Amino acid sequence: MTVRVYLAAARLLDEPPHADDIPAERVFVHASGLPEVWVETESLRVPARGRAVNFALARPMDIGFQRITGTVERTVEKRAPRADRP
């Protein structure tokens, strides 16, 4: 199951992953009037709200950062799409 983790005080860091980082499958930056950063992961190791968390990109990419750090603001479990929907 995929968990979407919304981050407060998020930072994108161009440094090598650490051994205890949670794999980040997807990273989103919503740069609107109320900016948001969230990470989607398949890991079950996401800490509780208000706790610090560190993610690393699940696959190497040349996009200017490799790690994402922040504080868990909230989490949302994403369900698989229903088979009966078009």
At 54-85, the pLDDT tens digits run 999 999 899 999 999 999 999 999 876 666 65
Cβ neighbours, 10 Å, residue 10 = 20
Which domain, by its residues, includes 30?
2-78
Strands 26-30 and 52-57, sheet pairing: unpaired
What is residue 34's predicted lDDT score, i.e. its pLDDT? 86
Q: 2: closest CA among 52, 33, 38, 48?
A: 38
| 86 in a structural domain | no
pLDDT tens digit string along 7-17? 999 999 999 99
| 85 in a structural domain | no
Quick one: average pLDDT of 29-49?
94
| 84 in a structural domain | no
What is residue 74's predicted lDDT score, i.e. its pLDDT? 96
Residue 41 has pLDDT above 80, yes or no: yes
Q: What is the number of domains present in the chain?
A: 1
| 50 in a structural domain | yes
